[in-house]
Structure 1
Amino acid sequence: MQTVLYARVSTTDQTSAHQRKQAEGAGFKVDVVVADEGVSGVSTTLRERPEGRRLFDPLLLRRGDVLVVRWVDRLGRNYADVTETIREFMRRGVIVRTVINNMTFDGATTDPMQMAVRDALIGFMAASAQAQAEATKEAQKAGIAHAKDREEAYRGRKPSYSRDQLDAARDLLAQGTNVSTIAKETGLSRQTVYRIQENPAEAEAALARWAA
């Protein structure tokens, strides 16, 4: 019987070595480490990950072996995925254990009450893992939106003209063409043409800020 640690890390400030240290600190004697570095657990199933798929190889994990993970969220991307993955390992006779809270999921259990408690725990922990992942995703989206709002506030109002329209308007203004004619020929409003006429440097700068 061997103990296999599966570590999934998605950011640069995490390492599989750190997860191994945590596991060994919790009393696990790790024989093999399987690690996916820089892989999101929200968008990929265990079978889709470069190293995660190795866990389904019967030559790596056999009946009686122990699969250790920091937490159940390492085994899938959502509730259905995590619960099915744990059940599959249990059907194969693999014991799944977690570093956090030292939970054990063993398919060899035959007592109905123990099975009910075990299955309830699997569902609860998988649901908690999905809720946390979704909360993280929402926080990331909110952070991105906030950063975008700040960037747009810095850049000011987006120009209502394109590069071609600005160049055409400036050329016509230089030729002494009246504003109404320029507006008609370029498709710009009279107000926009007036702003370009009054401050051509700012018109150019606004376009540059928006990389238009």
Structure 2
Amino acid sequence: MSKHQRVGYKRVSTLDQNTERQLDGEQLDRVFEDKASGKDMNRPALIEAIKYVREGDTLVVHSMDRMARNTEDLLRLVRELNDKRVTVEFLKERLSFSGNSADPMAHLMMTMLAGFAQFERSMIRERQREGIAIAKEKGVYKGRKPSLAADQVAALKERIAAGEKKAVVARDFGISRETLYQYLRGDSDKATHV
């Protein structure tokens, strides 16, 4: 019979952020780490961690917002893990959810905390949009500078007109396909490097 493992999961939003402090001091048998936005559902390390853990294991996460970006996602992930008889432990919130026993108070706390976190993120985005709108009104906000110079845009359009694949052209210019489409539509003020 194999011993139960404590498995860590870390996530940071950008490549420059550091996961060092997230599970600092925790005794873990294995750690999975994603560098992806929380709203991005493509979190390969989390998926790998969920496949890796077995009955009796504990998945240790720094905080709820590191595991999920919204309440629905969090509740689903914890439920899936508990169905596998895996305990989920959130260090920051000091909450633990076990597949062996249902604790209605802990479940209520998780739902409320996740709801508050989701609300806070919505408020931050709303304030950001309002700030940008005010700055635009004052003529202060110009947005990001276009990724490509006028001669590059002309070359890009020529290559597309010649029948080259858009994905290849976008890759050659180091821009996303959406940005390429913005240049093709003539929305160069919106076209920024993505």
Q: Same fold (TM over 0.5)?
A: yes
Structure 1 unmatched ranges of 5 or more: 156-209
Q: Distance in 2 between matches of 1:95 and 1:66?
A: 5
State the Cα RMSD in Å: 2.4
Aligned length: 140
- Runs of 4+ residues deviating >2 angstroms: 11-14, 135-150, 152-155
The residue number in structure 2 matching 1:35 is 33
Q: Distance in 2 between matches of 1:145 and 1:52?
A: 36
Q: Distance in 1 between matches of 2:14 and 2:124?
A: 13
1:50 pairs with 2:44: yes
The residue number in structure 2 matching 1:6 is 9
**Closer/same/farther in 2, CA of residues 72 and 154 from structure 1, 3 Å limit:** closer
Query: How many Å apart are 1:153 and its aligned residue?
Result: 4.6
Query: How many Å apart are 1:92 and its aligned residue?
Result: 0.7
Percent identity at matched positions? Answer: 32
Bigger helix share? 1
Structure 2 unmatched ranges of 5 or more: 143-188, 190-194
**Closer/same/farther in 2, CA of residues 148 and 103 from structure 1, 3 Å limit:** same
1:80 pairs with 2:77: no
Give CA-to-partner distance per residue, 1:156-201, whole Å, 9 cap, x none: xxxxxxxxxxxxxxxxxxxxxxxxxxxxxxxxxxxxxxxxxxxxxx
Q: Secondary structure at the match of 2:34?
A: strand
Larger Rg: 1
Q: Secondary structure at the match of 2:10?
A: strand
With normalisation by structure 2, the TM-score equals: 0.63
The residue number in structure 2 matching 1:69 is 61
1:56 maps to amino acid: I
The residue number in structure 1 matching 2:83 is 91
Q: Distance in 2 between matches of 1:100 and 1:77?
A: 16
Q: Distance in 2 between matches of 1:68 and 1:2?
A: 10
Q: Distance in 2 between matches of 1:44 and 1:99?
A: 22
**Closer/same/farther in 2, CA of residues 144 and 153 from structure 1, 3 Å limit:** closer
Contact persistence 1:44–1:76 (CA under 8 A): no
Query: How many Å apart are 1:154 and its aligned residue?
Result: 8.0
